[in-house]
Amino acid sequence: MVSIASWNINSVRLRIDQVVRMLSEQAPDVLCLQEIKCQEAQFPTESLAQLGYVHQAVHGQKGYHGVATVSRIPLREISRNDWQDNGEARHVGVELLGTKAGEGAGLVLENVYIPAGGDIPDRDANPKFGQKLDFIERMTRWAEKLDRPTLIVGDFNVAPLECDVYDHKALLKVVSHTPIEVETLERFRQAHGWVDLGRQFIPAPQRNYSWWSYRSYWRQKDQGRRLDHMWASPALAGQAVSHRFVEETRRWDSPSDHVPLITEFAL
């Protein structure tokens, strides 16, 4: 059994104690972090290595964005795609080399942080929105060529289903749930036949949020959105045995606005 977690941590140095706590309590084999907001030399390598996560692939930049995959299972970094075509650190791909028993060997794990896209859902008025759509389109061209079982995880910054937000009608013109974003992400899904593990195990319309704005009292209003995802190639999806979101992290002091997702595979 191999367990893989994904979490937009919103500054790994600021929240390293929370990362350590989550790893200690949940014990995934692999953790994919997004929005680490630091350069590679500043990444808390030793703190994670002390917990056994000695295998690390870090793609960082100063102050913004950045992704990292840390693992108790040996891995090798295989790619850093610049799907925004501007040099930002938003992706790292690894191949798991497997445990001593061979578990997980050959699994390709893609860790991505899709741009948020600004506040105005119009590419002419807001270039960031256009960059987001173009990013997903480049991912789609990439996905069309995939020929190995792959798991892609991360902060997609899109809530694709009506039930993936607290109020579908109210958010139709809000970036992350607009029809054009949903359609663009659906083309990406179809390009490889990705299986949305979040909805495979927690079927629609069950509540399955992963993000709550800092602007509202999250537990009282529960104004959540499902922005974080774990999508698998069809063959790999058949080996997934469980999936959960770890909502208690949102109750911790000064938490990330996202919560971790964890999927277990019988590999």
pLDDT digits (tens, 9 = 90+) for 189-242: 999 999 999 999 999 999 999 999 887 655 667 889 999 999 999 999 999 999
Please give the average per-residue pLDDT across 181-189, as a whole number: 98
Please give the average per-residue pLDDT across 73-96, as a whole number: 95
**Domain boundaries along the sequence of the chain:** 2-265
Q: What percent of the chain has pLDDT over 70?
A: 98
Query: Quick one: angle between helices 179-192 and 127-143, nearest 10?
Result: 20
Please give the average per-residue pLDDT across 141-169, as a whole number: 96
Kindly report the CATH class assigned to 2-265.
alpha beta
- Helix (H) / strand (E) element for 150: namely strand 150-155
